[in-house]
Structure 1
Amino acid sequence: MAVEERTSDELSISLQNEEKPVQMMFQKSAFKMTYIGEIFTKILVLPYISEELNMIIMLPDEHIDLKTVEKELTYEKYIEWTNPDMMDEEEVEVFLPQFKLQENYDLEEVLRSLRMTDAFNEARADFSGMSSRRDLHLSKVVHKSFVEVNEEGTEAAAATACRFMVLCKSLTPCFCADHPFLFFIQHSRTRGMLFCSRVSSP
């Protein structure tokens, strides 16, 4: 099946409450899911094909601002809310937009705030464990992050898409990410968080 046959144009509500056409992916399968009443948010776990990693999506109810969830979120609550023992595995219809995120970060200020200052100072930097040169020091530290989610990127995306209004009339629970959400990439065995971000407008 060609990639373009797995998606269809759907209307997604952006952060500014305006509708815009985006490519929505669909799969009906059994996934772990729960609902956190204190923040009015659904949590869905999408395993990658290798099962070494999971994508965890936190989708607030439509009337809940994403910032409200972000203010309540701590690492301790993340661990509590994503505890596999607190989730039910059930068949669910998942609608997820294709999206791509890319960001560059200058880490010098962050590292200096962590008291890593000598490395940036030409007179005090000591990289003798890495090189015999005595004049090495850091001039810049840059971190680049890139995440792309499409049909080939997660197991949950490899199915034929159908129209949302038709499918969600069935009795099967529906998880439709057509408004802002948070997502996390997690190491499934240790539950360690490898990446986190928000999608506010695909």
Structure 2
Amino acid sequence: MMIREHGFQYYHDDLLQFTALELPYENHSFKMIILLPDAKDGLNTLENNFSKINLHEISKNMTQHYIRVKLPSFKLEQSLQLKETLSNLGSPTMFTRAANFSNIVEDGNIYASKVVHKAYIDVNQYGTEAAAITKMEFIPRRARSYTDFIVDHPFMFFISTRYNTIIFVGRMTAIIN
């Protein structure tokens, strides 16, 4: 279980009934945005309204809050063979001897045999794998009020660039404490 108390970007959508939390990666080039439905059984409803979710608008409307985050540990790995997909998208020649990669190698005498895309996400008690950073935090002398963000039911998440280009979408349907 990852537990953090820190200032995070936060947003609640009353209409679609979910809360969004942004967890930035170390270099701030990427971020994980968690969409947690208000209802414990609300993931299907959230996914059915997916076309109404605008990540750019969510990010724009987020505000800084001091959040106590409790997020279960999870690890996702996926490998996809892209040969068929790239061929269907208009690049079938790259997998034949007729391929022209002269801009990559001098004689251009190569062609692709396969293309594999691998995705890996690991969230653990230290944070996300790419977000393991060392920080110094100061504790104010007065009590600080927290907003709790406790992930104890199914949710969806995005990994995106700082410009909100989505590079990975995932969903967790079983939370094991």
The TM-score normalised by the length of structure 2 is 0.75
Counterpart residue type for residue 9 of structure 2: K
Deviations 1:94-124 (A, max 9, x none): 11011111100011121122111111233x3
Is 1:53 paired with 2:26? no
CA contact (8 A) 1:26 1:93 kept: yes
Q: Secondary structure at the match of 1:82?
A: helix
Q: Secondary structure at the match of 2:114?
A: coil
CA contact (8 A) 2:19 2:38 kept: yes
Aligned mates of 2:53, 2:148 — CA distance in 1 = 28
The answer for the alignment partner of 1:17 in structure 2 is: none
Shift of 1:25: 1.9
Deviations 1:149-199 (A, max 9, x none): 12153479x9xxxxxxxxxxxx743211111212223333x3333433222
Q: Secondary structure at the match of 1:80?
A: helix
Is 1:201 paired with 2:155? no
Counterpart residue type for residue 137 of structure 1: Y
Aligned length: 161
Structure 1 unaligned residues grouped into runs of 5+: 1-23, 159-170
CA contact (8 A) 1:35 1:42 kept: yes
Structure 2 unaligned residues grouped into runs of 5+: 136-144
The answer for the alignment partner of 2:147 in structure 1 is: 173
Matches within 5 A, 1:117-156: 117-122=92-97, 124-131=98-105, 132=107, 134=109, 136-150=110-124, 151-153=126-128, 154=131
The TM-score normalised by the length of structure 1 is 0.67
CA contact (8 A) 1:46 1:155 kept: no
Tell me the percent identity: 31
The answer for the alignment partner of 1:30 in structure 2 is: 7
Aligned mates of 2:78, 2:59 — CA distance in 1 = 26
Q: CA RMSD in A?
A: 2.7
2:74 to 94, 99, 103: 99
